């Protein structure tokens, strides 16, 4: 029996379906990510779980209880928003205490729990400040502390890192993950950033156009995309149509083919003649744009030393391992 179970959930806005027949099972303490392009329905799904948006049908069962008839106040769910949604008129401590204030918790217990929550997000020294005096990363940590103070059964994170700059984003995602592990808190994280999803999640639900396209562990999604959308959204797959694939691999292929750029070996001894068109340095990886048999491919090579760099126009050959070639629908 899973902790959170979503059964046949659908949502229409006027006559337009936002998502339809969503089914998923989430275990207690699991960190799952809803990943997908903007407009795929992932945020709406999250809001439906929170009770902020009404569903058009289906069930959301949390620990044996159907949430659909409950108001957001009754669901005992914590949520962090992309916009932080901190109350500007309250100090950090008052923001964090808000949930307890609504529960009419005793003053001394509130104070103690606020201290604990702020210590957890390393913001103890900022209790007396107002949100406008904090940086974006600090605001989001306050929002996290605020959502955790009532000890919710489920934590929902709606693109919490999207408004932050890259360095803070990386730091904060580690902090969120470690707090989540420490509390054993079941968490649903919404993002459109595949890297975030791969790094943070126990399990990923990949969504497109209101449907869950694929679900599974990060490795599965990365190495075994089920269709062209999944291959196109995760990683930087080379997606070839049947004609190009047949020409490149010189055997008849009837479906599209996805090949990961790092699974192609570039060298002098391969079977397929290739020429370097251009290259770009991504840091630890060099990405070559290569033409082989009239097909353009991206190939990622580890950046070991400057001496190994191939020049544009250089004639080389490449090897594609059989198991790296994935036929996708």
Partner 1 sequence: MSRTDAQPAALYHRLVVWLLFLILLLPLAGTLLYSLSTSWSATVLPDGLTFKWYLALWSDSRFLAAFARSLLICCAALLLAVVLILPLLFVVHYYFPKLDRLMNILILLPFAVPPVVSSVGLLQVYGSGPLAMVGTPWILIGCYFTVALPFMYRAITNNLQAINLPDLMDAAHLLGASTWQAAYLVVLPNLRKGLMVSLFLSFSFLFGEFVFANLLVGTRYETLQVYLNNMRNSSGHFNSALVISYFFFVLLFTWAANRLNKDKS
Binding stretches for partner 1 (CB under 8 A): 47, 50-52, 71-73, 75, 77-79, 81, 83, 85-89, 98-99, 102-103, 143, 146-147, 150
Q: How far is the CB of 85 from partner 1 (least distance, A)?
A: 4
The two structure tokens encoding residue 169? 């984003």
Q: CA angle, corner 282, sides to 279 and 285, nearest 5?
A: 85
Q: How far is the CB of 90 from partner 1 (least distance, A)?
A: 8
Rounded to whole angstroms, the Cα distance separating 9 from 64 reads 16
**E strands of 90-210, at which residues?**
154-158, 186-191, 203-208
Q: How far is the CB of 14 from partner 1 (least distance, A)?
A: 14
Helices and strands in the chain: count of H runs, count of E runs: 10, 18
Closest CA to 130 of 163, 97, 94: 94
Q: Tell the residue number behind the tokens 């955790």, with chain if given.
A: 148
Q: Toward partner 1, which CB reaches closer, 89 or 311? A: 89
Q: Toward partner 1, which CB reaches closer, 23 or 103? A: 103
Q: How far is the CB of 313 from partner 1 (least distance, A)?
A: 52
Q: Toward partner 1, which CB reaches closer, 98 or 310? A: 98
Rounded to whole angstroms, the Cα distance separating 163 from 74 reads 29
DSSP codes, 64-120: TEE-TTS-HHHH-EEEE-TT----TTS-HHHHHHHHHHHTT--HHHHHHHHHHHHHH
Closest CA to 218 of 45, 32, 30: 32
Q: Toward partner 1, which CB reaches closer, 46 or 213? A: 46
Q: Toward partner 1, which CB reaches closer, 13 or 87? A: 87
Q: How far is the CB of 82 from partner 1 (least distance, A)?
A: 8
Q: How far is the CB of 71 from partner 1 (least distance, A)?
A: 8
Q: Toward partner 1, which CB reaches closer, 85 or 298? A: 85
């Amino acid at each position: 029996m899973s902790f959170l179970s979503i059964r046949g959930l659908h949502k229409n806005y006027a006559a337009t379906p936002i998502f339809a027949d969503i089914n998923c099972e989430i275990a207690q303490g699991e960190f799952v990510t809803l990943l997908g392009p903007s407009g795929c329905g992932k945020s709406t799904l999250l809001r439906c779980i929170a009770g902020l948006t009404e569903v058009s049908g289906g069930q959301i069962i949390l620990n044996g209880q159907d949430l659909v008839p409950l108001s957001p106040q009754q669901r005992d769910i914590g949520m962090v928003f992309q916009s932080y949604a901190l109350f500007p008129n309250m100090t950090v401590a008052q923001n964090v205490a808000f949930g307890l204030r609504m529960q009419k918790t005793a003053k001394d217990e509130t104070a103690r729990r606020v201290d604990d929550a702020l210590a957890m997000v390393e913001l103890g020294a900022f209790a007396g400040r107002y949100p406008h005096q904090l940086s974006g990363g600090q605001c989001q940590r306050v929002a996290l502390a605020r959502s955790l103070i009532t000890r919710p059964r489920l934590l929902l994170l709606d693109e919490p890192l999207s408004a932050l700059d890259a360095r803070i984003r990386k730091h904060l995602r580690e902090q969120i993950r470690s707090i989540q592990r420490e509390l054993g808190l079941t968490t649903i994280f919404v993002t459109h950033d595949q890297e975030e999803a791969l790094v943070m999640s126990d399990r990923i639900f990949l969504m497109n156009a209101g449907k869950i396209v694929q679900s599974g562990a990060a490795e599965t999604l990365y190495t075994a995309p089920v269709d062209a959308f999944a291959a196109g959204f995760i990683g930087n797959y080379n997606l070839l149509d049947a004609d190009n694939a047949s020409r490149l691999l010189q055997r008849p292929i009837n479906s599209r083919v996805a090949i990961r750029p790092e699974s192609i070996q570039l060298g002098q001894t391969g079977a397929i003649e290739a020429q370097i068109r251009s290259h770009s340095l991504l840091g630890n990886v060099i990405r070559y744009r290569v033409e082989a048999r009239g097909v353009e491919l991206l190939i990622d090579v580890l950046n070991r030393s400057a001496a190994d760099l191939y020049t544009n126009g250089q004639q080389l050959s490449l090897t594609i391992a059989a198991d790296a070639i994935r036929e996708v629908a």
